[in-house]
Amino acid sequence: MMLPLTSPQNAHIKHLIKLNNRNYRDEHQQTVVDGVREVALALKQGIVPVEAYVCLELMPAAATPTLTHLQQLAHERATQLFSLTRDLFAKVAYR
């Protein structure tokens, strides 16, 4: 199940933005994998994300297998899957 997030005040969004900071990532022992290709490579290596954030509006058709894999992990409750609006996705995208 994909949970929609629309508010920049959401705790998940705030945490995701803070992960842009190296010290914060190290402190929480988490990292951000940004981009369809990078996520697909991580999934192929057997890495199961704790959380995944997608913007369906921006996702290319070629990303369908990656999205399907993330949806399966969410169905198995291995990953929390969130959908973001275009504006919110732009705000959290790693730069």
Instruction: Tell me the two tokens of residue 83.
Output: 């959908």
Radius of gyration of the chain (CA): 13
**Looking at residue 3, what is its pLDDT?**
96
For the chain, the average pLDDT equals 94
Angle (nearest 5°) at CA 78 between 85 and 58: 25
Res. 70 pLDDT band, cuts 50 70 90 = very high
3-class state of residue 13 by DSSP: helix
Answer whether 39's CB lies under 8 Å from 67's CB: no
Assess whether pLDDT exceeds 90 at residue 78: yes
**Is the whole-model pTM more than 0.95?**
no
Taking the CA atoms of 9, 14, 17 and 18 in sequence, report the sign of the dihedral they define.
positive
**Looking at residue 86, what is its pLDDT?**
94
**Looking at residue 71, what is its pLDDT?**
97
**Looking at residue 95, what is its pLDDT?**
61
